[in-house]
Amino acid sequence: MSTVLKWIVRIFGVLIGLLLIVFVVAAAMPAQADPDVGEDHGAGASSVQPSYTGLQREFPALNETAANPTTDAKADLGRLLFFDPVLSANNDTACATCHQPDLGFADGRSTAIGPNGTELARNTPTLWNVGYAQNLFWDGRLDSLEAQSNIPLTHPDEMGVTDTDALVAEVAAIGEYETMFNAAFDDGVTLANIENALAAFQRTLITDNSPFDQYAAGDVDALTPSQRRGLALFRSGATRCFECHTAPTFASDTFRVVGVPSDDPGRAGVTADGSEGAFKVPTLRNIALTAPYMHNGSLETLEAVVDFYADGGGRLHGQENVDVFVQGFELTDQERLDLVAFLYALTDESGMPEVPTAVPSGLPVIQPTENPARAEVANHNVGGETGIELDDREPMTIVVQEGESVQTAVDQARPGDIIEVPYGVYHERVVIDINDITLRGIPNEAGERPIFDGEGVLTEGVIASGNNFIVGNLHVRNYTDNGVLVEGVTGVHFHDIFAENVGTYGVYPVRSTDVLIERVEVTGVDDAGVYAGQCENVIVRDSVVYGNVLGIELENTIGGEIYNNHAYDNTVGIFVVLLPQLTSKISANTLVYGNLVEDNNHENFAPPGATAGIAPSGVGILLLATDNADVYNNEIRDNKTTGVAVFSLTSTGAFDVNEVNVGPLPENNWVHDNTYENNGYDADPFVKDLGIPTADILWDGTGMNNRFNEASASSFPPLVPGDGWPNFVRRGYTNILGFLVSQLL
């Protein structure tokens, strides 16, 4: 018997030793971590200050490389090369053959046609403002203008060069080119310097003085009334054009599936993690000059493009992976005309380079091409040409008069003014672009606030893009998309607003900096009652949210503080998240404290395809892929799935890993000193299907340095790391747990 016991002891000792070895190895392994996005995270405002309106935005840095700084000598050389057919194998095709200046540096065709008559797969993109792009070609295969030049030079169906040494020799044999190359570069004519010169020239193709830019700079007459209405539609939550076509470039370096019927794999064709059918978001600057549209040129007019998106893009044809921002919308005939009119207002050819009449090779240069769109541009862009003419007066208070619209008062305002809205019911959408404006309601003797009522037809109660904007003492109801939307500004204060049944968001600051939201009450919206997206420095306090899908949401935001709020009867009470495919690539440094988060068990009623639709019912506080959140001193009770959940983007299968272009892991979050009662008593079916037991705290085991110091709370896993654990123990445990969870989920 003693021999058997000895062997049992030995075997047990070996097993313990093996487990210790596994743990030590796990602790020694580097932790899986998200990449550091650095200071270029994309959150917050990019507005120019000082300025007259909040519509002026800082252009990004040019995509110039340290190895190829732009000089006048390089750019002028590149200009001649751009128009010279000598760069093609048969001396019959120049860069300008497909990128014709008169056609918006495109070619006016659905898809390009090579010199041998071969039809290429995609539409020729414009080169205007290509110097700001970080991803090139429709599929984003390259990020360097220098490298980009080599593709058309050597493509057999484009310029067709097979012997680049022979091309260099041919160019070097032209005396004028040899002199120019020697002046521009230390090493004269090389293939790399041909590409460098072409890149330098393309970076000079800047368009930034359109009627819109003039209006943004303060020329209030630069846009026609129709174009101003179109600008409001462009920025509205109904069309959501501004979400992807972001000012000032009206483009973004993201890839979207809009659902144009096509078998082209798009981004998926050049990278393993690309989404099938996703293409780069193109610029809308000079868009009126570059018809036809989309990656395959399948839509002939801007009106057809608007109709395509109004119909929900590919959703109309049953495509399932269409981008969340392409949801479809309704426009009246006049609104359709207005939106197209605004797109014409993005036209500016004042930076057109001189087209040479002759090139050093002596080969024929492309001839001017008539573009009928220019006449349409002239017909649309008939705003004032007198420049900025503003009243020179001190700030004043403007009171909306009986029978007058609020917008009429807004249109009289100048920076620093206060617009007072007496009690009444106003059926309108108010648009404010001017900086330093206060819009405040004046309650009646009973304390009732003035009412903005969209009657279930209008999209937003208020749309604003002015810096230092204050809005409050309003009751906003019955809008189809949002209550109050503020986009791209620095300094915004929402206060004392009651929003009900206003569509997607109650109050909606996006891409803004220094946001204060206080004493706001929101109910009945199908996304987030209080929402701050892609913002920097946000405070949400003393507010009440109930009967929404998400109570309070901070999305891709840095520096948030959520305190002293009451979130109840939502699907999720408080949601802090990092989502993919947005300009901001960060969600970090959020404080969540002193809130009452209870009974958030409402059925999820988000519209089909909305990201909010993934939220499981019954979650008090959800941290999804966010970093450095500190959740403490909250009272969390009666949430049927869980009190606090900390998850990655990819562990549940809710997001396609091929679409996740942000760090998916929750890292460095600390949940501590909260009060829990009666959470996790009947989990949402989504959580049940994952096989996760219910508890006060749910963690999927991903992300390093997450800590939970909640002595009286139940949790899954039953053992969660705390702040007092040694780093190597926490790392080893997390590595092992993450591995096990990845095998189970």
Question: What whole-number distance in Å separates Cα of residue 24 and Cα of residue 598?
Answer: 41
For residues 686-699, b (16+ Cβ closer than 10 Å) or e, as one string? bbeebebebbbbbb
Cβ contacts of 391-398, under 8 Å, gap ≥ 24: 395/436
Identify residue 23 by its one-letter amino acid code. F
Q: For residue 558, give Cα distances in angstroms to 332, 538, 586.
A: 38, 8, 7
Identify residue 624 by its one-letter amino acid code. L
β-sheet bridge partners, residue 255: 280
Query: Which of 39, 119, 158, 428 is the catalytic position?
Result: 158
| DSSP output for 301-347 | SHHHHHHHHHTTGGGGGT-S---TT-------HHHHHHHHHHHHTT-
Residue 259 corresponds to which tokens in the numbers above?
A: 């659902």
- Strands 670-672 and 558-563: what pairing? unpaired
Q: Which residues contact 163 (CB under 8 A, 6 or more apart)?
A: none
Question: What whole-number distance in Å separates Cα of residue 522 and Cα of residue 501?
Answer: 8
Question: What whole-number distance in Å separates Cα of residue 386 and Cα of residue 399?
Answer: 29
- Strands 670-672 and 707-709: what pairing? parallel
Which candidate, 558, 720, 544, places its Cα nearest to that of 629?
Answer: 558
Q: For residue 204, give Cα distances in angstroms to 128, 288, 345, 355, 674.
A: 9, 20, 21, 13, 57
Residue 28 is given by DSSP the state H
- Tally the residues of the chain: 745
| DSSP output for 553-589 | EEES-EEEEEES-EEESSSEEEEEE--SSSS----EE
Catalytic site includes residue 659: no
Cβ atoms of residues 697 and 720 within 8 Å: yes
Q: Which residues contact 635 (CB under 8 A, 6 or more apart)?
A: 595, 596, 597, 598, 674, 675, 677
End-to-end CA distance of the chain: 44
Question: What whole-number distance in Å separates Cα of residue 707 and Cα of residue 722?
Answer: 5
Active site residues: 158
